[in-house]
Amino acid sequence: MFYRASLQAAAALASLSLLAGCGLLPGGDSDVDQKLAVGTTSEPSTLDPAAAWDNSWELMRNVFQTLVSFPTGSTAPEPDAADNCRFTDMTSTAYRCELREGLKFSNGDKLDAEAVKYSIDRIRSIAVKGGPIGMLGSLDRVETKGDDIVIFHLTKPDATFPFVLATPAMSLVAPSAYSKDKIRTDGKVTGSGPYLLDAYKQGDRSELVKNPDYKGFAKRKNDAVTIRYFKNSSSLVPALKKGDIDATYRGLSAEEVVALEDNNDKESDLQIVESVGADIRFLVFNPDDPAAGNPAVRRAIAQLVDRDALVAKVYQGTAEPLYSMVPKGIAAHTTSFFDTFGNPSVPKAKKILTDAGITKPVPMTFWFTTDRYGSSTAPEFAELKRQLEASGLFRITLKSRPWKTFQEGFNKGEYPVFGRGWFPDFPDPDNFIAPFVGKESVTGRPYIKDEITKQLLPQSRKESNRGAVSQEFERAQEILVDDVRMLPLWQGKLYVAAGEDIGGGERALDPQTVMQMWELYRKASW
């Protein structure tokens, strides 16, 4: 039978299992095999944190440490490699961390203040385009005092800086194993996280084993985890049903989620845990392209896209329409695109184009990735093509690439229009605005908007009470609507599917929606 559980009703999993007579109790029995396998369609694009601003974080969170982190249930960063951290001034321009005692990397090197400074400085010295350097815009310099004190001096007040340090992009690496001026590419990891990367085979798997020297917040409930990488969910779900893997994360199609929830398959004993997601999907328009660079073309597309139909046909209730780059559940969320464009309208879109002197159907190419956001991505773009062409105003060609080459392409400005997803670095509206504007926009093209970068963001970052920044971010969303450089489409929910004997799924996703493998365990039998 299938069970459904939400984060708000996690305890129901255990009671449902008992009612079904499956005889399972929480882990802790030393006789139970605590070596687990987790399947995903989200393979890391890099193993080096200095290049990672994508779903590579899912692996990095488990094999590296950061100074502060987001344990499940936390709303603000908490110490990890650090013993304590705090701003030392009233202006939020100096952030001081004191390290835990006795930290060391997996190669035996000491994890001290100089290693922390080295790890952060190399992100800026390597400066990978589209990489995490874009998160360090407020950092001036890193100072060390002795072996265990690190002070981050900022160029301006930035109350979000601790949130940045909590992202896996700021993972701490051993200086002796990582060059200061180039990315590591040997397929190995030298970190200090909860697990060691025992083996890695690109396109196939990562083998994680407990790190015996780990000192941090994670309480590991298993002994080892194999992460298996699947090209699509058509192979992922059968592997789960056969018991080849114990759990899945990222990659389930809408149809598969619905089938699990509706108990369509009576022969398997599986469960599905749902959590509210802050992940979003949106279109990006290249300002250098003749068609996509025309504001009238972008506004016409915004006027035509039917999010309700898209979500209903492709995602079947596993997502909801999104009318802002800041999703529901995050402070300052608005419905600014709906407020501006209202319901889809062909006549209104046609008028936008004709007023701009465009009277013939506009040919455009839309790009998407084949292996990052799940197997529903191709049907999603087919539905967008159908909607736009049904208006008679556009002729759409669809093209796709695997994530690694897709990412290289948009960073080079090769695509007129492309689809992107965004999984939050941290749960704050800043993280749904700041990464997309400025010279180092994660869209691959500079997006210079001085009112946002020079006024609204600096003003909001002076406020340590993050619930009090709505006005600034509401205005920022108005600016994004005016430009339509990005068009939000939908906001997703997150699902962990697992065997009936697997516990911890309701705690496995942290506030950054990154999988914490240490929360999963195999339940003991009676």
Secondary structure class of 40 (helix, strand, coil): strand
- Between 525 and 399, the higher pLDDT residue: 399
Q: Where are the beta strands (DSSP E) in 211-331?
A: 224-229, 247-249, 270-285, 319-321
- For residue 237, pLDDT over 60 is answered with yes
- For residue 207, pLDDT over 90 is answered with yes
Structure tokens at 446: 């500079």
250: how many CB neighbours lie within 10 A of its CB? 24
In tens, the pLDDT along 37-57 reads: 999 988 999 999 999 988 899
Average pLDDT over residues 23-36: 64
278, 271 Cβ separation under 8 angstroms: no
- Label residue 394 by pLDDT band (50, 70, 90): very high
Residue with tokens 């046909």: 313
Beta bridge partners of 319: 492
φ/ψ of 372, rounded to 5, equals -115, -40
Q: What is the largest CA-CA distance in the chain?
A: 74
Q: Which amino acid is at 477?
A: Q
- In eight-state DSSP terms, residue 181 is S
Residue with tokens 């697992």: 498
In tens, the pLDDT along 401-410 reads: 998 899 999 9
Give me the pLDDT at residue 266, please: 54
Q: Which amino acid is at 440?
A: E
pTM over 0.95: no
Residue 17 makes CB contacts below 8 A (sequence gap 6+) with 3, 24, 500, 523
Cα dihedral sign for 235, 239, 245, 246?
positive
Q: Where are the beta strands (DSSP E) in 405-525?
A: 417-422, 486-499, 502-503, 521-522, 524-525
Structure tokens at 513: 């929606």
- For residue 17, pLDDT over 80 is answered with no
**DSSP H or E segment with residue 58:** helix 57-63
**DSSP H or E segment with residue 450:** helix 450-450
What CA–CA distance (Å, rounded) separates 124 from 219? 32
CA distance readout (Å), 391 to 338, 396, 490: 19, 12, 21
Give me the pLDDT at residue 142, please: 98
In tens, the pLDDT along 129-183 reads: 878 998 898 999 999 999 999 999 999 999 999 999 999 999 999 999 999 999 9
- Label residue 24 by pLDDT band (50, 70, 90): very low
- For residue 202, pLDDT over 80 is answered with yes
Burial of 103-115, coded b for 16+ CB within 10 Å and e otherwise, reads bbbbeebebbbeb
What CA–CA distance (Å, rounded) separates 202 from 46? 10
Give me the pLDDT at residue 258, please: 86
Average pLDDT over residues 185-197: 98
CA distance readout (Å), 87 to 144, 150, 169: 15, 12, 21
- Between 465 and 471, the higher pLDDT residue: 471
Structure tokens at 28: 């802790």
In tens, the pLDDT along 340-362 reads: 999 999 999 999 999 999 999 99
245, 39 Cβ separation under 8 angstroms: yes
What CA–CA distance (Å, rounded) separates 460 from 439? 20
- For residue 64, pLDDT over 60 is answered with yes
Average pLDDT over residues 364-369: 98
- Label residue 3 by pLDDT band (50, 70, 90): very low
